[in-house]
Chains A and B, each alone.
Chain A
């Protein structure tokens, strides 16, 4: 399998009231095309920070990230926008659906920004895959947590990204719904999508091909209980 994402000596320092917080300290990672990986580690260990940098939502303080051969540190703000639009799908713990839009419109929203015409067949296929067809005309507030997160996964996939990043997608879900989401994420491998998921839940993390362990902004050699 070819390497899709590669980080080298990744550093991130936050400045909070004159105090520097080292969120990432020299992270070296590789993710392959079509790989399903989970990132686990205690709270505050830098998992979210890493995901944001991989997702072009934030820039590292040092080191490099390459996605599909493109170095993220070299690109401009609008270049980052384009990478987010074209290569990456994001799923959040809080779902972040737009309350004023129907489920279908929420799923289609990224197409507005990539100036693409909706493909009704693909929309139906996605909604079927995540199991949300019967809810397509509902508003997010009429949905259960599991349904909202499935809709969010469909939204992350509408632009056919190469990478799907999810930050504790099951954090607000019960066990059944959590398992369902992880199975869904796992199934994306078949389409060659690289899936990187942050989670607290070790059992769910086991469902992935690989677990990356984090501690204090570094990769931990040993698995750590959270």
Chain B
């Protein structure tokens, strides 16, 4: 028989009282475990969700109001451009955190055949799926080469366009993005190759060669590779083309409208934004989704609230343990004195008593973790009810480290609650026990 067995036998003697104590520990540790698990799971899910949106930070020139900047992702028109030097500077600056760069260039382009002025959205051809991972196609798919484009649902509906149809744009007119109607192009240049149609370099986002000045007024045709489903955003009214095409349309080989940055850790978006805005004049940066920012704030306050609750429950259950163990010490004064007379040292008695507190908190803690796990779905649906936004899927995922941490927390309660009773018990002299 060891110290532990002796303590266990003592605990078994006061079943009801210890069961109540266990329950309060169970609640404290269960709540702690749930809160930490949920917090971690939530952050992970949020990060995962943010990773699905390919671009976490968008840098645009200042001058456009903040709202316009967020609109950009959905196809707003921004007058100014970021020059090459600034863009390279930013890339250099965030190279530690960035996973990919997506230069974007907006233009208005004239299709002489339909006589339409389209909002054309240029982005690296092979980066399109990264920038717009949420896209769904009603027909077709992402472009596979520099001659293919994607069009929004409204554009397709308005002009009766289908996958495989072609669209023609006048290139190299020198028309700025915010200019009015372009001149009517000459039809004899249709289909002429433009050097600007080269595959854009994913790293720099620039065409290898700038379009030549004498290509002015040429017209190029593009095949519609995909038509989007209705998105409810400005994407419905836009045309998406390889970056080289907007360069050709604008006759601009340098500037971009916006630089999208994909981060290794999307959670760091706010920090990256602050950093960029501090270091570069004339630019402003926004996150891909302000909602996620808001959610992070709500989660933060929920976290503070939950942890205060955990501390409160821990104090209550800790006093419960203290009280339960202290009572057994008083009840067993005689037994403790007998053990001292049989040769038990003060430390032995201290240990026996402390063991009781630790066994209670260990069992209570372990049970709390198990129950919190079993009850995770209930907790999830409960939290879904009062948080404005909760990522899809299971957010509470069993993490052995969190479980271990919760158990240690429980044992710390045990140590703190056991100190006083153990000290009292170890002070019992053999005489006072035997005399009575």
Tell me the A residues contacting B by CB distance below 8 Å.
52, 55, 57-58, 77-78, 81-82, 84-86, 90, 92, 96, 98, 100-101, 105, 108-110, 112-114, 155, 159
Contact = CB atoms under 8 A, between A and B. Distances in A.
A113 B13 CA distance: 22
Contacts of B12: 100
Contacts of A81: 340, 343-346
Contacts of A78: 345-346
Interface in B303-357: 334-335, 338-346, 348
B2 interface: yes
A57 B343 CA distance: 10
Nearest to A78: B345
Contacts of B430: 57
Contact of B13 (A100, A114, A159): A100
A98 B338 contact: yes
B1 interface: yes
Contact of B341 (A84, A101, A114): A84
Nearest to A98: B335
B404 interface: no
Contacts of A52: 431, 434
B280 interface: no
Contacts of B346: 77-78, 81
B184 interface: no
A82 B344 CA distance: 9
B341 A155 contact: no
A109 B10 contact: no
30 contacts: A52-B431, A55-B341, A57-B341, A57-B430, A57-B431, A58-B431, A77-B346, A78-B346, A81-B340, A81-B345, A81-B346, A82-B343, A84-B341, A85-B343, A90-B342, A96-B341, A96-B434, A98-B335, A100-B12, A100-B13, A101-B1, A101-B9, A105-B1, A108-B1, A109-B1, A110-B343, A112-B348, A113-B348, A155-B342, A159-B343
A207 to B, nearest CB: 25
B342 A84 contact: yes
Contacts of A84: 340-343
Interface string B1-37: 1110010011011000000000000000000000000
B434 A113 contact: no
Contacts of A114: 343
Nearest to A167: B434
B346 to A, nearest CB: 7
A92 B343 contact: no
Residue of B3, B334, B338, B345 with highest tally of chain A CB at under 10 A: B338
Contacts of A112: 1-3, 6, 344, 348
Interface residues of B, number: 24
Contacts of A159: 343
Given A90-B342, A96-B334, A57 B1 contact: no
Contacts of A110: 342-343
Nearest to B348: A113
Contact of B345 (A86, A105, A113): A113
Interface of B: 1-3, 6, 9-10, 12-13, 334-335, 338-346, 348, 429-431, 434
- DSSP class of A's interface residues: helix, strand, loop or mixed? helix
From B3, B12, B339, B341, residue with most partner A Cβ within 10 Å: B341
B350 to A, nearest CB: 13
Nearest to A90: B341
A77 B47 CA distance: 61
A113 B338 contact: no
A85 B12 CA distance: 27
Contacts of B344: 81, 112-113
Contacts of B13: 100
A81 B340 CA distance: 8
A92 B339 contact: no
B339 A113 contact: yes
Nearest to B5: A105
Contacts of B338: 92, 96, 98
B18 to A, nearest CB: 13
A113 B431 contact: no
Contacts of B341: 55, 57, 84, 90, 96
A57 B341 CA distance: 7
Contacts of B335: 96, 98
Nearest to B335: A98
Nearest to B349: A113
Contact of B342 (A77, A100, A105, A113): A113
Given A109-B1, A109-B6, A113-B339, 5 more contacts: A77-B346, A85-B342, A85-B343, A100-B12, A105-B1
Nearest to A82: B343
Contacts of A85: 342-343
A38 B1 CA distance: 34
A92 B9 contact: no
Contacts of A77: 346
A108 B6 CA distance: 12
Contacts of A108: 1
Nearest to A55: B341
Nearest to B342: A110
Nearest to B430: A57
A92 B342 CA distance: 11
Nearest to B12: A100
